């Protein structure tokens, strides 16, 4: 056995042992919340609450546990608000829930985190107003979703079509979205610039996206993973990219073990790993506009398919085709729309002009989504066993090892 490989295996074993010890003490000392228990706590809202009809839904942290809170539409809460929550716990399907609690806003100007998040939220709200004044619906909400991951203002019919056609992830500001954006930016600029410069621009693009998306925890996690992978690609070492990704995952789980059950973390990790490990289909890659979209989509979806099915229960039969037709527009929309958003805060007419340049691509995007949304073709799966998920990833690993040996 190679000495360097032996040292690497020993190092990996030590890291896994440290992580196992961390998990044991974390969950062993975790306070269990009983069904019907009344609690009161203070927290900062670290993600923009989702508006569903006349309700607001968001996740709050209490003693290292995540509580999904559903409350009335008003008073309106925002990303970065510091609040006191009083309510009754409801345990359902291993999830901690709270319905209609008493929520009181607390103004703490000395809280640096709260102050910073509030400034980011004000910045976001100004941009939302700018887009809404420039483009009609659903184009304005679609562009807002692509850039910021904001879905609240999107018409329900169009939102359903996005889900049915398999491109809802584009407006979800998820780890998969960050991965796809980074991949497209690097591929696009590689046609005009050196590969290392193109990858550097993709890293800057990921950082830019993270700020515009509000620096939410899910985006920060996905951005760290994406930046590590693309940084390793600058050095031309795939192994370094994989090791960097696993080191990032190790660090995040060491700090917050609850991430192991977080869907955003799972998608970020799997999609990024898929982009690195799953080889491109050369026959498709010859056509860049469609080919790169299909290649990137295939890699991300193969790597995340069991996670998506287990958590959302649906999969579109036309997903790969629709993604291939649409994903090439995403980096263009993000670049033009992002620059237009920044300029719009300084000189509104100039910013609106750039944002309006996105309109033809948005109409194209909407047309494809509505066509495939009406066709249907979504498969619904009620439950997915852990044995199937384990078997899927074992089979995928075997196929990748065989392909690697052939190469």
Q: What is the DSSP string of 278-322?
A: SPP-HHHHTSHHHHHHHHHHHHHHHHHHHHHHHHH-EEETTHHHH
Span 236-276, pLDDT tens digits: 555 666 777 787 788 888 888 877 877 777 877 887 788 77
Same domain, 146 and 101: no
Omega prior to 364 cis, within 30 of 0:
no
Q: Omega before 225 cis (within 30°)?
A: no
Query: Of the candidates 149, 143, 142, which has an alpha carbon nearest to the alpha carbon of residue 50?
Result: 149
* 254 & 196 share domain: yes
> Does the pLDDT value for residue 152 go beyond 80?
no
Give domain status of residue 122, yes or no: no
Domain identity same for 324 and 371: yes
Q: Domain check: are 159 and 219 in the same one?
A: yes
Provide the number of structural domains found in the chain. Answer: 2
Of the chain, the percentage scoring pLDDT greater than 90 comes to 4
pLDDT tens sequence across 356-370: 999 999 999 999 999
Same domain, 240 and 377: yes
Residues 168 and 251 in one domain: yes
297 within a domain of the structure (yes/no): yes
Instruction: Say if residue 328 is in the same domain as residue 190.
Output: yes
Query: For residue 284, what pLDDT is reported?
Result: 46
Mean pLDDT of 97-112: 76
Whether residue 323 is found in the same domain as residue 371: yes
Q: How many CB atoms lie within 10 A of CB 20?
A: 10
**Assigned domain for 125 exists:** no
364-389 residue pLDDT tens: 999 999 998 888 766 777 677 778 88
Q: Are residues 213 and 303 in the same domain?
A: yes
Would you state the pLDDT for residue 108?
61
The answer to whether the beta carbons of residues 79 and 50 sit under 8 Å apart is no
DSSP code of residue 166: T
What is the mean pLDDT of the segment spanning 99-117?
71
* pLDDT of residue 177 exceeding 50: yes
Contact 29, 47 (CB under 8 A): no
Domain assignment present for 387: yes
Burial class (CB in 10 A: 0-12, 13-18, 19+), 186: buried
Q: Residue 358: inside a domain, yes or no?
A: yes
Domain match, 359 and 277 both: yes
**Average pLDDT over the chain, rounded to whole?**
77
Could you tell me if residue 130 is inside a domain?
A: no
CATH number at residue 65: 2.40.50.140
One domain for residues 183 and 323 = yes
Q: Show the domain range for 259.
A: 142-406
Which ranges constitute the DSSP H helices of 213-261? 217-234, 238-255
Residue 11 lies in a domain: no
Let me know whether 323 and 402 are in one domain: yes
pLDDT for the residue 168: 77
Q: Is the pLDDT of residue 290 over 50?
A: no
| Residue 112 falls inside a structural domain | no
Mean pLDDT of 56-84: 81
Q: What is the mean pLDDT of residues 164-170?
A: 78
Q: Tell how strand 82-92 and strand 55-62 pair up.
A: unpaired
DSSP structural state of residue 33: P
- Residues 6 or more apart whose CB falls under 8 angstroms from that of 179 comprise 222, 225, 226, 268, 271, 272, 275, 300
């Amino acid at each position: 056995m190679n000495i360097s490989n032996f040292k690497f295996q020993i190092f990996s074993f030590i890291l896994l042992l440290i992580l196992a010890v961390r998990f044991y003490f974390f969950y062993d000392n975790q306070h269990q919340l009983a069904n019907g228990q009344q609690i009161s706590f203070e927290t900062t809202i670290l993600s923009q609450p989702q508006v569903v009809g006349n309700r607001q839904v968001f996740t709050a942290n209490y003693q290292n546990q995540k509580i999904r809170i559903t409350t009335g539409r008003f008073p309106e809460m925002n990303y970065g608000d510091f609040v006191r929550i009083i309510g009754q716990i409801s345990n359902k399907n291993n999830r901690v829930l709270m319905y209609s609690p008493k929520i009181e806003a607390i103004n703490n100007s000395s809280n640096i985190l709260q102050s910073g998040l509030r400034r980011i939220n004000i910045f976001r709200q100004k941009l939302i107003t700018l887009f809404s004044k420039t483009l009609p619906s659903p184009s304005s909400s679609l562009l807002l979703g692509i850039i910021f991951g904001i879905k609240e203002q999107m018409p329900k019919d169009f939102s359903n079509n996005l889900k049915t056609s398999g491109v809802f992830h584009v407006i979800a500001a998820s780890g998969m979205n960050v991965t796809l954006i980074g991949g497209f930016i690097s591929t696009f600029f590689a046609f005009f610039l050196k590969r290392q410069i193109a990858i550097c621009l993709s890293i800057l693009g990921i950082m830019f996206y993270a700020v515009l998306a509000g620096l939410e925890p899910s985006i920060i996690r996905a951005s760290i993973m994406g930046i590590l992978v693309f940084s390793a690609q600058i050095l031309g070492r795939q192994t370094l990219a994989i090791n960097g990704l696993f080191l990032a995952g190790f660090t995040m789980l060491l700090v917050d073990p609850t991430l192991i059950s977080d869907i955003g973390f799972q998608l970020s990790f799997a999609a990024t790993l898929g982009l690195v490990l799953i080889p491109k289909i050369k026959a498709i890659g010859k056509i860049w506009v469609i080919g790169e979209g299909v290649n990137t989509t295939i890699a991300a979806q193969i790597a995340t398919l069991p996670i998506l099915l287990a958590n959302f229960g649906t999969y579109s039969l036309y997903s790969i085709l629709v993604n291939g037709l649409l994903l090439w527009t995403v980096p263009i929309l993000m670049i033009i729309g992002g620059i237009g958003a920044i300029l719009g805060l300084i000189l509104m007419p100039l910013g609106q002009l750039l944002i309006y340049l996105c309109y033809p691509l948005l109409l194209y995007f909407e047309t494809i989504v509505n066509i495939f949304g009406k066709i249907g073709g979504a498969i619904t799966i009620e439950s997915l066993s852990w044995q199937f998920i384990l078997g899927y990833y074992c089979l995928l690993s075997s196929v990748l090892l065989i392909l690697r040996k052939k190469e």
